[in-house]
């Protein structure tokens, strides 16, 4: 049974989560359902909390201006009242103080208005970020749709390949028999730029005994996609390809645990031993087991 691990928390991922899409690749990393939800929440927080912080700062700025200026205004009004009472005139007749009070009131109004404008700007920025996030989601949805169409097209190509044995046999005496058409098409598909297409072709070729198939599966041990490498290792073990022993030993040092585990299973089927190798061991422990396997292989080939 194939086991996948989360690239963020290193926990195993249930196959049901992979099948229903709860666990998937995000930014090139395979994430379990919990980690994918956490990453989504952090991204939403970045989009929504920054405008909220700007809004709070604007409100605090306006409030601070009022708190700082109001006491000064009240003090000036008190001075006007006291001076007016001492002179025996009606309050508020000192032109200089009245001008200062008016200037302070204008300053307070300006600060309140500036705070209002900042709040409106923060709200507009929040709306623009929300629209941008929505557009990004729509773009991702379109890309997923395109990828789904490509996968369906690849599957259709595999299903439409002619069944084995329908091709013409060899011509005259001594002429080699022609390869079955489906093998030709599938071998070509193993070189497709899409990893899903290569994997589908590899699975379809698993039982073929065409001599070129074994060679091609050996080459796929070096594929750029780790799922293709892992499946190639499993198939070589099931086919009993003893010539794959040395290349499979090298796959024990693969950077992906899925490939290491598949190579170990194939080698156990081909040699009857895994020399104590465990794909989940720490790197230094794995290196010792791989070196032991390589030494055994050198003695075997002498």
* pLDDT per position as a tens digit, 199-224: 988 898 888 888 899 999 999 999 99
Domain range summary for the chain, segments of one domain joined by +: 47-160, 181-301
Residues facing residue 12 across a β-bridge: 5
Tell me how far apart the alpha carbons of residues 280 and 273 are, in angstroms, rounded to a whole number.
17
How far apart CA 53 and CA 198 sit, in angstroms, is 49
Mean pLDDT score across all residues of the chain = 76
pLDDT band of 4, cuts 50, 70, 90: confident
- Residue pair 255/265 in contact (Cβ under 8 Å)? The answer is no
Query: What pTM value is reported for the model?
Result: 0.43
The predicted-structure confidence for 30-83, as pLDDT tens digits, reads as follows 888 788 777 777 766 555 555 555 555 555 555 555 555 666 666 666 666 666
8 Å CB contact between 12 and 5: yes
Pairing verdict, β 29-31 and 4-5: unpaired
Selection from 2, 25, 8 nearest residue 147 by Cα: 25
- Selected residue with higher pLDDT from 247 and 130: 247
What is the Cα–Cα distance from 4 to 232, expressed in whole angstroms?
17
pLDDT higher at 129 or 232: 232
**Full DSSP string of 224-258:** SSHHHHHHHHHHHHHHT-GGGHHHHHHHTT-SSHH
CATH of domain 181-301: 1.25.10.10
Q: What is the mean pLDDT of residues 253-281?
A: 91
Q: What is the pLDDT of residues 162-174, one digit of tens each?
A: 554 544 444 444 4
How confident is the model at residue 171, as a pLDDT?
Answer: 44
Alpha-carbon gap, residue 219 to 198, rounded angstroms:
12
* Count helices and strands in the chain by DSSP H and E runs: 10, 4
SS3 29: strand
The span from the CA of 287 to the CA of 271, in Å, is 19
Could you tell me the two tokens for 302? Answer: 């002498």
Band (pLDDT 50/70/90 cuts) for residue 255 is: very high
The pLDDT tens digits of the residues spanning 175-198 come to 444 444 478 888 988 999 988 888
- Banded pLDDT at 147 (limits 50, 70, 90): low
More confident residue, 138 or 209: 209
């Amino acid at each position: 049974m194939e086991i996948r691990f989360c690239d963020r928390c290193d926990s195993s991922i249930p196959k049901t989560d992979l099948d229903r899409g709860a666990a998937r690749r995000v930014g090139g990393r395979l994430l379990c359902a919990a980690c994918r939800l956490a990453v989504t929440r952090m991204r939403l927080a970045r989009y929504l909390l920054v405008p909220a912080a700007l809004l709070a700062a604007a409100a605090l700025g306006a409030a601070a201006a009022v708190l700082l200026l109001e006491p000064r205004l009240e003090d000036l009004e008190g001075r006007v009242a006291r001076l007016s009472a001492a002179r025996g005139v009606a309050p508020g007749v000192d032109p200089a103080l009245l001008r200062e009070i008016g200037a302070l009131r204008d300053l307070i109004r300006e600060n309140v208005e500036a705070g209002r404008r900042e709040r409106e700007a923060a709200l507009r920025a929040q709306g623009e970020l929300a629209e941008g996030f929505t557009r990004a989601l729509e773009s991702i949805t379109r890309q997923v749709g395109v990828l789904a169409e490509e996968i369906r097209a690849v599957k259709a190509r595999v299903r439409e390949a002619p069944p084995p044995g329908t091709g013409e046999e060899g011509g005259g005496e001594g002429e080699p028999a022609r390869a079955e058409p489906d093998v030709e098409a599938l071998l070509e598909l193993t070189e497709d730029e899409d990893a899903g297409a290569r994997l589908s072709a590899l699975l379809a070729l698993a039982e073929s005994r065409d001599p070129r198939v074994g060679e091609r599966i050996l080459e796929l041990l070096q594929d750029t996609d780790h799922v293709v490498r892992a499946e190639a290792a499993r198939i070589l073990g099931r086919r009993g390809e003893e010539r794959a022993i040395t290349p499979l030993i090298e796959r024990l040092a693969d950077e992906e645990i899925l490939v290491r585990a598949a190579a170990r299973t194939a080698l156990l089927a081909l040699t009857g031993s895994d020399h104590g190798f465990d794909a989940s061991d720490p790197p230094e422990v794995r290196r010792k087991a791989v070196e032991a396997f390589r030494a055994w292989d050198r003695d075997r080939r002498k």
